[in-house]
Structures are given as structure tokens and as C-alpha cells.
Amino acid sequence: MMITPSITVPAIVRVRDVMNDNVLTVQDTEPARLAVQMMLWGGFRHLPVMHGKKLVGMITDRDVYEAEMRAVASNETAVAELMRTDVRTAAPDDAIGEVALVMAAAHIHAMPVVDHQRLVGIVTSHDLLACMANGSLPPPITVSAKVADVMCREPRYVNPDDDIRVALTIMVEQQIRHLPVVDAHDMLVGIVSDRDLRAAVGDPIEALRDDDDDNLVPFYIADVMTANPISIKPDAPLADLSWSLLDEKVGAVPVVDDDDHLVGIVSYVDVLHFALRGLP
């Protein structure tokens, strides 16, 4: 009697297996500044925009800040005036690999999930990184891939005794969310994020526009930074970095040499795009 060996077919991971079904939304008639506050309070960077119960757009904190930097937005500007209406959506039964391809190609970091015209969830770049780290999203990051293959070299940075407005200016102008903090010897001593700065000053745009220094309580980077942050070496396996980003719940990790001198920075988006670019 011939025994036919069993073949295990990997299960396809669907969007419904990955998505967050507890979605924070904003109405298109609400003030855009309220949307930013909701994102800050909820720990999100993207909000689906609704008109009643219908999905009509997406808005990010950057949409609002860029509009304010161009002086085309005010405190009364409605979400509808700044939101993006060309929203790509996924369905609960879509394969997560297909959605990952679309998100990577279009540089989308969050995709609403719609079922029969009803918003039922959202899937983000962080969700995709989690799938990749646990092997449920191909291709797995190869053993040969190193942090040096992905990191941003010569990153912008600040010093502990810099006024926080220095960091605010860099983040707004360069559209970055994390800045390593180094001492006088270029050794890593901390990291500061856009969320750290918003918690300290509230609205970054208003802080930068305020000509009256008395209206902004003096804050220095040392007052708001995360001291002794996790860091990684350039020759460390990229797979190790993926787990660090997930386990520590951080968006970016500074890269240092053997003497703890800053040589780069790498974010979860950098890792995700590096891994997904090999997909057919």
C-alpha cells in the first residue's frame, strides 16, 4: 500500500486576520485641528473621514501641518478641505500580501477596510511589519539582510541643550518624526519624537509662529527626550531590528558604531519598504 505524503499548504493571511476593527474616525465637517488632537490622543497618524456613515476620505497629521505651513489653513478649517479623497480601500477577505504590495507601491501607510460600503477596520504599515516579522507575509527578511542595508545615513540630530523649537523646525521642514540626540562627542544620549514635542508645546505650528518668547515656556531637548534609547549596530541582522521595533513599540531606532557614535537611523517604514520591494 502506497502512502501519499501529506502536503501542508500555507494558509493565506487575510486582511480580517490583521486589521484593527476598533477604528477612530472623524466627520468631514469637524475642524482639522480636532482631527490632529484625536490622532495625538489615540496614538494614530491617520484618520478615516466620514460623511455620516460613509467613508469619504483620509486625513493625516501631516496634511494639516503642511497646509498650515503654506498658510492655507486656520483653526476653523474643516477636515473636508484638507482630506484626501482618492482613498484606496481593502476588503476583509483580501490577501494581506496583495494589500502590502499596493501600500508599498503607492507609499500608503494606512488603508481603510470596507465591507459592503461599510467601514469595518484599518490596516497599517505597522500591521504589515508584524506579519513580516512572524513570517506570515512573504518574503521573509533574509538572514543576510543587515541594518546597514536600510538605514538612513548622516541623519539629522539635535543636542540635549538645544531649545525644542530647533527640533520642531527640523521635523516640520524635513517631514521627519524622530531625531536622535547626541552629546558634544556625537555619542547617542537620547531620541525625541514629534509626539514628545507635541506633548510639551501642543500645536507645533503655533509654537513656531509665536514671536513672543514669553508665550512659550522654555523647554530644552533634555526635558522631553527619551534618554538611553534602544539602539542597534549597522551589521545587526535586519530581522532583529524588526522585532525590536515591534517589541519596544517604537517607530525608529538610532544606529550606532562600537563606540556609540551615531551613524544612522532606521524606521519601521524603511524596513517594510526594503522587504516588500522584492515582491513580484
At 37-71, the pLDDT tens digits run 888 777 778 899 999 999 999 998 778 777 766 66
Terminal CA-CA length for the chain? 42
> Directed axis angle between helix 268-276 and helix 125-133, to 10°?
60
Q: CA 136 to CA 45: how far, in whole Å?
A: 25
Sign of CA dihedral 162, 198, 57, 14: positive
CATH superfamily of 147-276: CBS-domain (3.10.580.10)
Confidence at residue 6, expressed as pLDDT on a 0 to 100 scale:
44
Can you give the pLDDT at residue 37? 81
72 φ, ψ (degrees, to nearest 5): -110, 10
Axis crossing angle, helix 238-247 with helix 268-276, rounded to the nearest 10: 140
CA distance 86 to 29: 18
pTM of the model: 0.69
Query: Into which CATH architecture does domain 15-133 fall?
Result: Roll (3.10)
Domains 15-133 and 147-276 share a fold: yes
3-class secondary structure, 115: strand
Minimal CA–CA distance to 169: which of 221, 231, 109, 222? Answer: 221
Alpha carbon distance 34, 142 (integer Å): 43
Question: Are the CB atoms for 150 and 141 separated by under 8 Å?
Answer: no
Mark the ranges of the chain whose per-residue pLDDT is less than 50.
1-10, 211-212, 280
Single out the residue of 54, 55, 60 nearest to residue 38, CA to CA. 60
Q: Please report, for the chain, the start and end positions of each structural domain, with discontinuous segments joined by +.
A: 15-133, 147-276
